Structure 1
Amino acid sequence: MDAPDVRLVAVGTALPGPPVDNAALAKRFGVDEIWEQWVDAFIGTRQRHFSVDLDSGEVRYRLADLGRIAAERAFATAGLSPGDVDLVVMGTSSPDQLMPATVNVIADQLGINGVPSFQLQSGCTGAFQALDVAHQMLSTGRHRTALVLGGDVCTKHLDLTLDPKDLTPAELVPGVMFGDGAGAALLSTEPRAGAPTIRRILVRLTGLDREPGHVVDWYGPADHHASGPATSEDYKAIEESVPTMAAEILGELQDELDWPDLDYLLPPQLSGRMTARIVESLGVPGAREISCVTSTGNTGNALPFFQFEQLLARMAPHDRALGIAVESSKWIKGGIALEMTA
């Protein structure tokens, strides 16, 4: 018996609060226009959304809140309900707690119970990894509809007491590049008009003997005294490696599927400047780029869902799209191929 096709039925997304632009960040931290211009020129991200109020430090949204909102929007778009779901998978690098798993908190808020649930901890390919798990389980024929979630709340690691002038570039970049958000997708084996078929998902660890490009620490009572920032980034290593890895992912998917021509390209969304350089280096003539990072910030595992949301509104019959993600903490390649059948 052939494996059933798995379709991307609907997507929902959620961002916390109003956008915070570079001028607002500069004003909040009392730095001059040169700092603001540095963010514009070096990072290229105009704004992002924070779950924490920058003035009061109040946590306004948790990842579970954003995940629930995104899922509710996906259900509304699809005309489905939580009762239609028989599988839930989530990818995140910043769960609300170590236990209970955030995926199960979201399921509880939605009224989902009695189904398999999985939470995968990973950086920017976590959404692809969650989609891969759901895709493989749906392909067995034992499940019909999966809710796949992805998101991150990075501002939990933002120390509002620090002075940006005292930070190294490795410490400064995460604070201006990342934002918070969540996304949800409904996958189904049921035929559905306007729902592209997932042709291939690529997930591959390639970090053997390589130093991490991104580190996020968790501190417990036994090591709360540990010095140094909770998060740091080797931006130069990322800048050097991600374009090459993106090209390898694109080439592998195109060769495997025999897709020399593409209608849509969903490139990695690290920052505005980095994404522009990657797209230029990939050189995919005729493919329309779907990017959102300049207006959302780097929302980690939420970002592919913002791209999918735009993609579903644009795809026409026979269109083909490839999405690419690179996880830089221990170097994982991620890719997805979608095709809109007639």
Structure 2
Amino acid sequence: MPPGGTARRGGALHLLGVGTALPGEPVDNETLAAALGIASEWMEAFIGTRARHFAVDLAGGQVRWTLEDLCTDAADRALADAGVEPDGVGFVVLATATPDALMPTTAALLADRLGIGGTPVYQLQSGCTGAVQAFALARALLADGAGGGAPGLVVGGDVCARHLDLRQDFRRLPPGTLVNYVLFGDGAGAALVGAAPGPRDARTRAALTHVTHRLDGLGLPPGQRVEWFGAADRASDRPAATEDYKAVEQRVPVMALEVRDELLDACGWPPGSIDHLLPPQLGGRMTERIARELSHGLKWREVSCVAETGNNGNALVFLQLERLLDRIRPGQRALGIAIESSKWIKAGFTVEAPHV
């Protein structure tokens, strides 16, 4: 691993509370196929995602939930889970690829809405590895004593559907554009993290012990691109989002295996000591395949959500952690891996539940 590849500064990052938010009712393949005028069988065979949640109305395209709305709901639940009031938060870090506006940041609006003032507030622009980057930043902030040593609120979320044009003939779209309407969903997640274990039950005392993320795509074309259209080019015929799904299929499994091995080496953990695996969340079928390759025949328990929630970007790690905290037992270990295809970013983390 290159110097600085794994963030060790500040020790373990303790998970004191986790909360998530998904907009509306799940939209299954049959409902989405009817709205888009395409075959649901293609969705199941190609993507394997059974449902997703949208912050927009499929019929009219109106935005029903903003990213700020979803992040606020998730943060409220994380704070309630930890038993901490907003005035007990020392800083806020939010990761997203789809902010509600360029300014003010969604992070600042979230802090204002929660009533968190006088504290550092950061927003990271990133895709599926953004949540891991946010945890790494939170770890450094806690080590530096930001917020007076109070726990920090780490938030991630995306509202992808608001950037997609629902008023077009989807049967004429190339697969690299159409896949974005099927693969992605909307949602948010949040975690309250501290430099020390919380005073409550063992569920709140799991800790992220290693966090790693780095660019791995020098010289490679992006695997995904999401446009921003300003006043001068908003009439452009460029699609809002494109995905090189073939490149994703080829590169992500290899990168995930590399992250797995790097994390095991960094921790000195033998593969047989891992109890749970949080694999990259792309689509249902690809996630299943990658999880099998990552566990290489061992009985790691997979913790996935993407087949039911859709790929909601920066919310995914929080959705996985929420499920993990319901399952992990004292003394157990977990590996988490996230891969971002935008410019091929590797990220991963380890989770430990201390012995009681």
The TM-score range, normalised by the shorter chain, is: over 0.9
Structure 1 residue 241: deviation in Å?
0.3
1:183 is paired with a residue of what secondary structure?
Answer: strand
Look up the match of 2:30: 23
Structure 1 residue 253: deviation in Å?
0.3
1:275-290, aligned counterparts within 5 Å? 275-284=287-296, 285-290=298-303
Rounded to whole Å, the distance in 2 between the matches of 1:325 and 1:4 is 21
Rounded to whole Å, the distance in 1 between the matches of 2:326 and 2:144 is 29
1:255 is paired with a residue of what secondary structure?
Answer: helix
Q: What CA RMSD, in Å, does the superposition of the two structures yield over aligned residues?
A: 1.2
Look up the match of 2:277: 265
Rounded to whole Å, the distance in 1 between the matches of 2:169 and 2:231 is 26
Look up the match of 1:165: 171
1:295 is paired with a residue of what secondary structure?
Answer: helix
Candidates 327, 333, 340, aligned match of 2:346 = 333
Structure 1 residue 228: deviation in Å?
2.0
Look up the match of 2:186: 180
1:1-342, aligned counterparts within 5 Å? 3=10, 5-31=12-38, 35-142=39-146, 143-192=149-198, 193-194=201-202, 195-260=205-270, 261-284=273-296, 285-342=298-355
1:112 is paired with a residue of what secondary structure?
Answer: coil
Offset from partner CA, 1:81-103 (integer Å, 9 cap, x none):
11110111011100000000001
1:252 is paired with a residue of what secondary structure?
Answer: helix
Rounded to whole Å, the distance in 2 between the matches of 1:99 and 1:10 is 29
CA contact (8 A) 1:268 1:275 kept: yes
Rounded to whole Å, the distance in 2 between the matches of 1:3 and 1:96 is 32
Structure 1 residue 17: deviation in Å?
0.7
Offset from partner CA, 1:246-274 (integer Å, 9 cap, x none):
00000000011011120110000000011
Structure 1 residue 162: deviation in Å?
1.3
Structure 1 residue 6: deviation in Å?
2.5
CA contact (8 A) 1:145 1:188 kept: yes
* Pair 214,9 (structure 1): closer, same or farther in 2 beyond 3 Å: same
Q: Which amino acid aligns with 2:290?
A: I
Using the aligned pairs only, state the percent identity. Answer: 52
Structure 1 residue 46: deviation in Å?
0.5
Rounded to whole Å, the distance in 2 between the matches of 1:144 and 1:134 is 11
Rounded to whole Å, the distance in 2 between the matches of 1:4 and 1:172 is 43
Moved more, 233-242 or 73-82: 73-82
Rounded to whole Å, the distance in 1 between the matches of 2:60 and 2:95 is 29
2:52 is paired with a residue of what secondary structure?
Answer: strand
2:208 is paired with a residue of what secondary structure?
Answer: strand
* Pair 28,123 (structure 1): closer, same or farther in 2 beyond 3 Å: same
Rounded to whole Å, the distance in 2 between the matches of 1:186 and 1:217 is 32
Structure 1 residue 4: deviation in Å?
5.2
Q: How many residues align?
A: 338
CA contact (8 A) 1:6 1:139 kept: no
Offset from partner CA, 1:54-78 (integer Å, 9 cap, x none):
1122210000000000000111111
Q: Which amino acid aligns with 2:221?
A: E
Unaligned ranges ≥5, structure 1: none
Structure 1 residue 3: deviation in Å?
4.1
Structure 1 residue 279: deviation in Å?
0.9
Moved more, 189-198 or 44-53: 189-198
Unaligned ranges ≥5, structure 2: 1-8
- Runs of 4+ in structure 1 off by over 4 angstroms are none
